[in-house]
A and B are shown apart, each in its own frame.
Chain A
Amino acid sequence: MGAFLTALFTGLRLGSVYALVALGYTMVYGIIKLINFAHGDFIMVGSYTLFFTVPVLREAGVPAWLGVIAAMLVCAAVGMATELMAYRPVRKTGTNMTALITAIAVSLILENLAQAIPAIGPNPRTVNSIFASGGVSLSGATLSWATLITIVVSLVVMFVLYSFTRGTRLGRAMRAVSEDKQAATLMGINVNSTILITFGIGAGLAGVAALMYVAQYPAATNVMGTTLGLYAFVAAVLGGIGSIPGAMLGGFVIGLVYSFSSAYISSSLASTFVYLILIAVLLIKPAGMLGKNIGEKV
Chain B
Amino acid sequence: MTNRNEKKAGGYLLNTLLSAAVIVLAAMAPQLGASVKGVTILWQLCYFIILACSLNLVMGFLGQLSLGHCGFMGVGAYAAALISLAFQRAGIYTEKSGAAFMLVLLICILAAGLLAALVGLLVGIPALRMKGDYLAIITLGFGLIIVNIINNLPFCGMGGLSQGSAAPALYANGLGFVAKQLVSYLWIPVVLTIVCVAAMFMFVRSKYGRAIMAIRDNEIAAAASGIDVSHYKVLTFAVGAFFAGIAGAIFAMCSSTLSTASFNFTSSSILNSTFIVVMVVIGGMGSLTGSSAAAVLLYLLNYTIKNGKWVHALPLFMRQAFAYPMLVYSIVMVVVIIFRPHGIFGTYEFSLYNSVSELFSGKRGKKVPVKEAAENE
A residues with CB within 8 A of B = 29, 33-35, 86, 89-90, 93-98, 100-102, 104-106, 108-109, 111-113, 115-116, 118, 223, 226, 230, 233-234, 237, 266, 268-269, 271-272, 275-276, 278-279, 282-283, 286, 298
Contact = CB atoms under 8 A, between A and B. Distances in A.
Contacts of A226: 265-266
Given A272-B148, A278-B141, A100 B327 contact: no
Given A86-B334, A97-B63, A275 B145 contact: yes
Name the residue in B129, B137, B142 with the highest tally of chain A Cβ atoms < 10 Å from its Cβ: B137
Given A100-B65, A279-B126, A108 B137 contact: no
B148 A271 contact: yes
A108 B138 contact: no
Interface stretch (B200-208, B316-324, B362-370): B316-324
A71 to B, nearest CB: 23
Contact of B144 (A33, A93, A98, A275): A275
Interface string B330-370: 11011001100100000000000000000000000000000
Chain A interface, >50% SS class: helix
Interface string B139-155: 01110110011011000
B126 A115 contact: no
Interface string B292-309: 000000000000000000
Nearest to A270: B148
Contacts of B138: 278-279, 282
Given A101-B337, A104-B274, A230-B140, 15 more contacts: A86-B334, A90-B334, A94-B337, A101-B281, A101-B333, A106-B334, A112-B327, A113-B324, A118-B320, A230-B137, A266-B152, A276-B145, A278-B138, A283-B129, A286-B130
B142 A113 contact: no
Contact of A34 (B129, B133, B134, B137): B133
8 contacts: A35-B137, A93-B341, A96-B132, A101-B65, A104-B277, A115-B324, A266-B152, A286-B134
Contact of B134 (A98, A109, A282): A282
Interface of B: 59, 63, 65, 67, 126-127, 129-130, 132-134, 136-138, 140-142, 144-145, 148-149, 151-152, 220, 265-266, 274, 277-278, 281, 320-321, 323-324, 326-327, 329-331, 333-334, 337-338, 341
Contacts of B126: 279, 282-283
B330 A112 contact: yes
A286 to B, nearest CB: 7
Chain B interface, >50% SS class: helix
B330 A109 contact: yes
B103 to A, nearest CB: 36
A298 B220 contact: yes
